[in-house]
């Protein structure tokens, strides 16, 4: 899709290898025949598209495109060597107005990319049902209305990538239209106002289907067992919808899954150990704010590729399995606001490489295991609102990237010692240690001096200051999807 690889333009360079003794007229002839220009019909299809844009919203194309009669030379247009328009690549051109269905008259068009513009109106279904388009990206526009269910004249469409995300589309996804997309690999419908059930039978029609992103819509109903038939599915994201029910057992037959996320839905049920372990390719598992309960299964330790585990704001109980220490790829773990109990010392963190670890708002107890300080790349550690006790380890000063530490509302002791150790954390910007150190005297100002980068410090019932700098590690929940 690089506009630089214009085959028409490349052919102008073909004169270089031609021996210099070739008569000039032959050279000119061959030159002319190879740079065949686009047909009148293709040119008028593009002109009609241009006319559909608003006068002050054509991104200057009106001026640029008149310069040449050959539309293969136009900005954003790529042709094949025989002068057929194959690419219309006009992302972020400031385009406004509507998308003309005339583009469907470009019968050799393979890639249409109009993302990051301000186009309005509906998406012409002629483009979705095109007999040539392989990739259609109209993401980040202001398109609206439902996608009309349309009977296709073809039994199989070439479309592989359809990105209609970040628009204002409404209604249900057109299921019979999806049925003829037998070559579909990726469907991105995120950040719209789609309703109805998730499109679940895609894999039964499109055997290579790999990416489905439905985040930020109002899809409802259950997660269909049909997803179990998606043997090539790598990415399944449907966070921030109104889905309900449990994760179906069948889903865990989709063993290619690398990214499974359903945060902010009204699900129920538990993480079933024998199911989870089938997803050995999993890199991201996000079931935050879904309502799942039960315990974390031992089999989590067998997910050796797992980098992100988000289970915050659920009802998960019991102790953390020591097998978690075997998740050596894990970088982000968010268990905030569950009902975990027991100690973290069960887990040997030595082989792990955590960046952000959030164990806050649970019933954890015991001391913080020394092995956690082996995670040299730790940036944020949240332990607030638990029953941890003991002293702050001197090893905390050896974490070069630690910039956020919250231990509020636990039973840590020896504040003077704690501050001495924390002073060695040169990168600390936020330190929340209030409601600990029962009965101890808060040290003098000089004990607090020496925190070079500190922007936020809460020691006791002090009000929070500089909340903005907190949001980086606190508010991740709001955009995760
Ligand atoms: C496609 O081209 C035909 C004639 O070549 C024309 O009649 C028709 O209106 C065009 N379709 C669109 C959608 O522009
Ligand atoms: C469309 O273009 C944008 C901007 O260059 C790019 O990020 C996006 O990946 C392209 N879409 C497809 C489907 O290739
Ligand atoms: C739209 O989504 C497709 C498929 O997920 C992706 O390849 C493409 O890069 C996305 N486009 C943008 C502009 O993000
Ligand atoms: C879907 O498109 C959105 C932009 O609207 C993008 O942020 C997201 O990464 C895309 N999803 C996938 C899986 O490519
Ligand atoms: C959602 O879509 C709207 C409209 O295109 C866009 O302004 C907004 O940035 C998108 N949000 C995200 C998170 O991509
Ligand atoms: C999976 O596919 C098979 C054969 O294509 C079909 O018989 C079965 O009903 C499908 N299963 C689900 C849950 O859709
Ligand atoms: C904890 O999670 C529950 C849902 O399980 C939610 O209702 C509640 O607001 C959350 N509390 C906090 C403090 O985040
Ligand atoms: C971690 O994995 C090793 C090798 O697979 C296994 O022997 C060990 O029991 C596992 N540790 C835990 C705590 O499950
Ligand atoms: C912690 O345990 C106590 C009693 O053991 C219980 O009342 C409380 O609800 C628990 N808190 C959480 C967050 O689970
Ligand atoms: C943790 O594991 C490391 C090796 O991975 C080992 O050297 C160390 O003794 C273990 N620590 C505990 C407390 O079991
Ligand atoms: C301090 O933290 C910031 C943000 O986490 C990071 O970019 C930077 O590299 C760190 N600096 C040092 C000296 O580790
Ligand atoms: C605090 O810790 C230091 C070093 O471990 C120790 O010498 C001191 O007695 C402790 N103070 C209190 C009040 O426990």
Q: How many residues belong to the chain?
A: 481
Give the pairing type, strands 161-163 and 315-318: unpaired
Provide the pLDDT for residue 13: 37
Ligand with the closest atom to the CA of 351: 10
| pLDDT recorded at residue 460 | 64
What local confidence, expressed as pLDDT, does residue 35 receive?
57
In degrees and rounded to multiples of 5, residue 54 shows phi and psi of: -75, 155
What pLDDT sits at residue 7?
31
Report the C-alpha gap between 287 and 267 in whole angstroms. 9
pLDDT at 150: 86
* Percentages (nearest 5) of helix, strand, coil residues in the chain: 25, 20, 55
- The answer to whether 406 and 430 have CB atoms below 8 angstroms apart is yes
What is the bridge-based pairing of β-strands 85-89 and 77-79?
antiparallel
pLDDT at 36: 66
At residue 24, the pLDDT reads 39
Stretch(es) of the chain classified as CATH 3.80.10.10:
287-377
DSSP notation for 459-478: -SSPPP--HHHHHHHHTHHH
122 Cβ contact partners less than 8 Å away, ≥ 6 residues apart: 98, 143, 144, 145, 148
Q: Is the CB of 361 under 6 A from ligand 3?
A: no
> Contact, 145 vs 120, CB < 8 A?
no
Ligand 7 first shell, C-beta below 6 A: 313-315, 337, 361
Q: Are 433 and 407 in contact (CB under 8 A)?
A: yes
Instruction: Give, for ligand 8, the residue of 296, 306, 323, 324 to mutate: max count of ligand atoms closer than 8 Å to Cβ.
Output: 323
Cα separation values, 79 from 70, 84, 159, Å: 10, 5, 19
Tell me, what's the pLDDT at 449? 73
Instruction: Please return the burial class of 203, using the count of CB atoms within 10 Å of its CB with bins 0-12, 13-18 and 19+.
Output: buried
What DSSP letter does each residue of 333-373 carry, written as one string?
Answer: EE--SSEEEEESTTS--TT---SEEE--SSEEEEPPPGGGG
- Cβ–ligand 8 distance for 301 under 6 Å, the answer yes
Ligand 2 neighbours (beta carbon < 6 A): 1, 91, 113, 115, 135, 137, 161, 163
The pLDDT, as a whole number, for residue 1 is 35
> Under DSSP, is residue 30 helix (H, G, I), strand (E, B) or coil?
helix
Distance CA 352, CA 123 (A): 47
pLDDT of amino acid 139: 98
pLDDT value, residue 275 = 97
- Whether 170 contacts 142, CB under 8 Å: no
pLDDT of residue 383: 97
The domain made up of 287-377 has a fold known as 3.80.10
Q: Is the CB of 139 under 6 A from ligand 3?
A: yes
Buried b (16+ CB within 10 A) or exposed e, 80-101: eeebbbbbbbbbebebbbbbbb
Q: Which residues of the chain have pLDDT under 50?
A: 1-34, 461-477
84 sits in the region (left: phi over 0; alpha: psi -120 to 50; else beta) called beta
Give the 3-state secondary structure of residue 298: helix
Q: Whose alpha carbon is nearest atom 2 of ligand 11?
A: 401
């Amino acid at each position: 899709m690089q506009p630089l690889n214009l085959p028409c333009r490349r052919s102008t360079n073909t004169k270089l290898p031609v021996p210099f003794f070739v008569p000039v007229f032959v050279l000119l002839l061959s030159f002319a025949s190879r740079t065949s220009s686009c047909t009148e019909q293709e040119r008028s299809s593009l002109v009609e598209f241009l006319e559909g844009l608003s006068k002050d919203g054509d991104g200057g194309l009106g001026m640029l495109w008149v310069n040449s009669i050959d539309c293969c030379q136009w900005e954003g247009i790529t042709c094949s060597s025989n002068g057929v328009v194959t690419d219309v690549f006009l992302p972020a051109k400031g385009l406004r107005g509507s998308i003309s269905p005339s583009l469907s008259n470009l019968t050799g068009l393979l890639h249409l990319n109009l993302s990051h513009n301000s186009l309005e109106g509906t998406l012409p279904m002629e483009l979705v049902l095109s007999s040539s388009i392989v990739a259609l990206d109209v993401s980040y526009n202001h398109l609206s209305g439902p996608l009309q269910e349309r009977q296709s004249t073809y039994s199989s469409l070439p479309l592989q990538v359809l990105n209609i995300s970040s628009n204002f589309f409404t209604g249900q996804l057109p299921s019979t239209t999806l049925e003829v997309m037998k070559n579909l690999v990726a469907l991105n419908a995120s950040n719209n106002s789609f309703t109805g059930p998730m499109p679940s039978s895609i894999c039964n029609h499109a055997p290579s289907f790999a990416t489905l992103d439905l985040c930020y819509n109002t899809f409802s109903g259950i997660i269909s067992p049909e997803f179990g038939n998606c043997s090539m599915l790598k990415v399944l994201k449907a966070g921030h919808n109104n889905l309900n029910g449990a994760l179906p057992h069948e889903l865990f037959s989709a063993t290619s899954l690398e990214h499974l996320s359903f945060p902010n839905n009204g699900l129920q049920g538990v993480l079933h150990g024998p199911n989870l372990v089938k997803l050995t390719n999993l890199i991201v598992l996000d079931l935050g704010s879904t309502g799942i309960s039960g315990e974390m299964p031992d089999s989590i330790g067998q997910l050796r590729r797992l980098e992100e585990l988000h289970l915050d704001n659920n009802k998960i109980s019991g102790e953390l399995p020591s097998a978690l220490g075997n998740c050596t790829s894990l970088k982000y773990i968010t268990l905030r606001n569950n009902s975990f109990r027991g100690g973290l010392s069960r887990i040997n963190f030595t082989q792990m490489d955590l960046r952000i670890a959030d164990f806050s708002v649970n019933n954890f107890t015991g001391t913080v295991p020394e092995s956690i300080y082996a995670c040299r790349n730790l940036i944020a550690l949240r332990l607030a609102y638990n029953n941890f006790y003991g002293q702050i380890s001197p090893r905390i000063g050896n974490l070069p990237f630690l910039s956020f530490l919250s231990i509020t509302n636990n039973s840590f002791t020896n504040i003077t010692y704690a501050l001495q150790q924390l002073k060695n954390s040169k990168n600390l910007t936020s330190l929340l240690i209030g409601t600990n150190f029962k009965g101890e005297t808060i040290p003098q100002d000089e004990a607090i001096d020496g925190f070079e980068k500190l922007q936020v410090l809460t020691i006791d019932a002090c009000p929070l200051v500089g909340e903005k700098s907190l949001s980086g590690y606190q508010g991740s929940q709001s955009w995760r999807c």
